[in-house]
Structure 1
Amino acid sequence: MKNFTFNINDNNYSVRIVSQEKNTIDLEVNGTAYTVKMEEELKTVKTPTLVRTASKAALEPVKIKTSASAAAGKITITAPIPGVVLSLNVKVGDTVKDGDLLLVLEAMKMENNITSEKSGVVTAVNVGVGQQVLQSEVMIELE
């Protein structure tokens, strides 16, 4: 485990701690094995761990403002807030229905499910996984 060198009254002692169990320590001094029992048990220092519990509230999809161009019949899905795209669930040519999950956007350390408010076919995906988006940036276009 650990090696130490002590100088006591001009004599050098090489001490190697072999093992420790509760208050009993096995060690070697200049090659001779000893078992030492401490009067008090050594306290172990524990590093605290952060444990997060899962939220009990049901995840609710983020409602996205869609812009529909009357002439072309296009629907654009824009970012509600600045964030980073964690996952994309659609690609160009996919048919989506009302309420389908399009992508997951991480914003302010929260994962936001971005869903479709209308049915249609994906005509463009303007973002990629890991990409940062700004508020109101067009992420997906439907027709």
Structure 2
Amino acid sequence: MKNFTFNINKNSYKVRIISHEDNTINLEVNGTKYEVELDEDIKKQKTPVLVRRPSSSNAEKPKVVNPSSAKKSGITAPIPGVIMALNVKVGDKVTENQQLLVLEAMKMENSIMSDKSGTVSAIHVSAGQQVLQGDVMIEIE
């Protein structure tokens, strides 16, 4: 089944596991067979099972996007963290790659940059607020 080599106090031991059932392991150490009984159960790893919902025959209707909202883009939190500083306010003109805010995550400060030029239309966070990954923090038109 599996072979191991152990060096203990300058002595070499070749161990071969022959079988393993419940709490009993049959093994061979340097050619001598042993049966070992464990005190605790060995937990076997379970393979996750993918569960899918049955597909429905009626497909979803496409969503209609409001043309005014298509121009807006939301800046979302890439990782969970705390807002350290806001560098913009509603109505400010921003350029692409301009720093909008500082997000502290895992004891590191991360600069969150604008992905496009435009005007800040909404700010959904404040300094000191905790955010989760994917939370919309700032909207730019």
TM-score by length of 2: 0.52
Structure 1, unaligned runs of 5 or more: 1-68
SS of the residue aligned with 2:97?
A: coil
Tell me if 1:128 matches 2:107: no
Report the residue type matching 1:121 in the other structure: T
2:139 is aligned to 141
| Aligned pair partner of 1:104 in 102, 105, 117 | 102
| Aligned pair partner of 2:113 in 112, 115, 118 | 115
TM-score by length of 1: 0.51
> For the residues of structure 2 that align with 1:94 and 1:88, how far apart are their CA atoms?
12
Report the residue type matching 1:100 in the other structure: Q
2:91 is aligned to 93
Shift of 1:70: 7.3
> For the residues of structure 2 that align with 1:139 and 1:97, how far apart are their CA atoms?
17
* Largest Rg, 1 or 2: 1
The root-mean-square deviation of aligned C-alpha atoms, in Å, is 1.2
Report the residue type matching 1:118 in the other structure: K
Shift of 1:93: 0.1
Report the residue type matching 1:114 in the other structure: I
> For the residues of structure 1 that align with 2:95 and 2:66, how far apart are their CA atoms?
20
1:76-124, Cα deviation, whole Å (9 max, x unpaired): 0000000000000000000000011000000000100000010010000
Identity %: 63
Structure 2, unaligned runs of 5 or more: 1-64
Report the residue type matching 1:129 in the other structure: A
| Aligned pair partner of 1:80 in 53, 66, 78 | 78
Report the residue type matching 2:75 in the other structure: I
> For the residues of structure 2 that align with 1:108 and 1:84, how far apart are their CA atoms?
10
Runs of 4+ in 1 over 3 A off after TM superposition: none
> For the residues of structure 2 that align with 1:107 and 1:90, how far apart are their CA atoms?
20
> For the residues of structure 1 that align with 2:115 and 2:121, how far apart are their CA atoms?
16
1:6-25, Cα deviation, whole Å (9 max, x unpaired): xxxxxxxxxxxxxxxxxxxx
